[in-house]
Structure 1
Amino acid sequence: MIPEVNDSAPDFTLLNTEGNKISLADFKEKQKVVLLFFPLAFSSVCTEELCFTRDNMKLYHAMNARVLAVSVDSFFALNAFKKAENLNFTLLSDFNKEVARSYNVLYEDYFGMKGVARRAVFVIGEDGIIRHREVLEDSGDLPDFKAVQQVLGTLS
């Protein structure tokens, strides 16, 4: 089942770049969450997307939103990526592909690689409900960040 707008966001627990467990439930009733799925660390479009997010963190902080970026890379690779690009938000490793599967954003075949996350964004309210969903078919496209910011602006 594909989680849709107005559905409860599937909860998860993943490892961050330091190997610590982070759960979506940690933010419920505290902060909105911008959940970004991206295919692979160090690839050109993913780097562009995450650097754009890095450069706009003041907007997310001003709207009481936490950015969680998820890929199927190991947390070791994500740690190196975070340091290389000076990323100022949480990267999470979905190495076993469970979260991408639960959000139905997994490519079956991505340039010959099996089980890579699609580029996608979900805005989750403090109540744990999905308020915005965008899943991109073409990994060369970027999410509509203006739409994300508009949705965040409507959530109290």
Structure 2
Amino acid sequence: MPLVVGAKAPDFTLKTKTADGLKDVRLSDNFGKKQTVLLFFPLAYTGTCTQEMCDISNGLSGYTGLGAEVYGISVDSPFAQEAWAKSSKITVPLLSDLNKTVTKAYDVVFPNLAGVGDTSARAAFVIGRDGVIKYAEQTPTPKDLPNFNAVKAALAK
């Protein structure tokens, strides 16, 4: 079960790949400034994950307009994420949780996906400016997408 609404969001620092090289992204840097949407997804280059990140990229202004920073998080390396983002035109910042520390902290591990090993489950969290979880959802299967209307409603509150 993922962390629940009202819980303090576990802070983290993860790597993202930018044109300038690897960069650290720390969740708590947003505290007091903006809301944060965390979108955990199983693996780059897979159908549902590509659909989700492309749809979010195409509608990113709908989230930034609500004062939110959006991050996609997977257990892929930042280099694989960067190549996938380029080939699929994904503009959402992708964070690498290669060691699964954040996936475990948010309790969204999907065990042995397709027999290849543990990955992140598909999950969505909205974290308020105060660092408290305002919305939490883990989908029933990796093929199901989060309820993005509910995510936006939580951001709008």
Same fold (TM over 0.5): yes
- Give the TM interval when normalised to the shorter protein: over 0.9
User: Unaligned regions of 5+ residues in structure 1, if any?
Assistant: none
Structure 1 stretches of 4+ moved >4 Å: none
> In the alignment, which residue of structure 2 is the partner of 1:48?
51
In 2, the alpha carbon distance for the partners of 1:82 and 1:2 equals 26
TM-score, length basis structure 2: 0.95
> In the alignment, which residue of structure 2 is the partner of 1:13?
13
User: Unaligned regions of 5+ residues in structure 2, if any?
Assistant: none
Spell out, residue by residue over 1:17-57, the C-alpha distance to the aligned partner (whole angstroms, 9 max, x if none): 23211110111111100000000001000000011101111
Q: Tell me the CA shift for residue 89 of structure 1.
A: 2.1
Letter matched to residue 52 of structure 2: E
Judge conservation of contact 2:2–2:136 (CA < 8 Å) in 1.
no
TM-score, length basis structure 1: 0.95
In 1, the alpha carbon distance for the partners of 2:82 and 2:134 equals 29
Identify which of 100, 103, 106 aligns with 2:103: 100
Q: Aligned residues, how many?
A: 154
In 2, the alpha carbon distance for the partners of 1:115 and 1:10 equals 20
Q: Tell me the CA shift for residue 137 of structure 1.
A: 2.6
In 1, the alpha carbon distance for the partners of 2:134 and 2:112 equals 29
Identify which of 110, 114, 125 aligns with 2:113: 110
Moved more, 79-88 or 22-31: 79-88
In 1, the alpha carbon distance for the partners of 2:111 and 2:66 equals 35
> In the alignment, which residue of structure 2 is the partner of 1:123?
126
Judge conservation of contact 1:118–1:137 (CA < 8 Å) in 2.
no
SS at 1:60 equivalent: helix
CA RMSD after TM alignment:
1.1
In 2, the alpha carbon distance for the partners of 1:110 and 1:137 equals 13
